[in-house]
Amino acid sequence: MTSKFARILVAAVFALTLNAWAQTPAGTAPSSAAVPNAPSSASTSPAATGTKVGTINIEGAIFSCNEGRRDVEALSKKLEPKQAELKGASEELEGLKKQLSTQGDKMNEDSAAALRKQIETRQKSFERTRQDAVEEAQSLQGEVMQRILQKMAPVIVKYAGDNGYGIIIDTSQPWPQGPVVWYGQAVDITQAVVEAYNIKSGVPAPPPSAAGTTPKPAARPATTPATKPATAPAKPQ
């Protein structure tokens, strides 16, 4: 899952960083004030003199390059204990709800009320813990994206300048969330940028995951149990 927070962060950093590089005269590097957390050693930025239009899936480039795959895999492992904790809490909460649903009509009123109160308390606690975990995952994922994008931006600008592009459009979000209604693969430079960045970064391709697939961005921690009112079934008349 790529969160809305991460997409906003990518859009903002992409615009600031790419603009800083594209508008910097050849032979100079953008200042750290123009590009927050910019790497100190930067390559020369070519002048934007091309006329071709290209597209790039920024999120796809970040998460499919070797460095992104490596860092997302590390992030996923870091979040595994919290995932397990939330899964256990979710299962316990669902167990209590099932108990109320199947046994509530056999309990006396005090016992049923106590169980409903326990469910309500655990539901609120679970929601708070889950939300904290979501925010932590989004923040850590955003840090990975920002760090890689800061270093990938000059690669994008150089590739565009070397290949006659005058404008590059991000297609990370499909229309209507994004601005691009349709584009052909012939104008997409995502894979070419990924390959160029892999060479520049020097990060080797990570070994295949257990499932044999490329790691995905950090997922939303656990699922939220149903939030239906915890009420006992009505007693038969």
Average pLDDT over residues 126-150: 95
In this prediction, residue 207 carries a pLDDT of 85
Does residue 57 belong to any structural domain of this protein?
yes
In this prediction, residue 225 carries a pLDDT of 43
Arithmetic mean of pLDDT over the chain: 78
Does residue 136 belong to any structural domain of this protein?
yes
Query: What's the structural domain count of the chain?
Result: 1
Does residue 184 belong to any structural domain of this protein?
no
Does residue 189 belong to any structural domain of this protein?
no
Q: Annotate 101-140 with b (16+ C-beta within 10 A) or e (fewer).
A: eeebeeeeeeebeebbeebeebbeebeebbeebbeebbeb
10 Å Cβ neighbour count for 73? 16
**What radius of gyration, in Å, describes the C-alpha atoms of the chain?**
24
Does residue 175 belong to any structural domain of this protein?
no
Query: In Å, what is the CA distance from 224 to each residue of 20, 88, 128, 172, 229?
Result: 42, 12, 11, 27, 14
Question: Which position has the token pair 């709800």?
Answer: 97
Does residue 36 belong to any structural domain of this protein?
yes
Token output for 9: 């962060």
pLDDT, tens digit, 9 for 90 and up, residues 110-119: 999 999 999 9
pLDDT, tens digit, 9 for 90 and up, residues 198-229: 999 999 998 876 444 444 554 444 444 444 43
Average pLDDT over residues 18-38: 46
Q: Domain range holding 146? A: 4-163
Does residue 223 belong to any structural domain of this protein?
no
pLDDT band at 104 (very low <50, low <70, confident <90, very high): confident
Instruction: Please tell me the distance from the alpha carbon of residue 227 to that of residue 120, in angstroms, as a whole number.
Output: 10
Does residue 71 belong to any structural domain of this protein?
yes
In this model, does residue 124 exceed pLDDT 80?
yes
Instruction: Please tell me the distance from the alpha carbon of residue 218 to that of residue 140, in angstroms, as a whole number.
Output: 9
Q: Model pTM?
A: 0.68
Check if the beta carbon of residue 112 is closer than 8 Å to that of residue 99: no
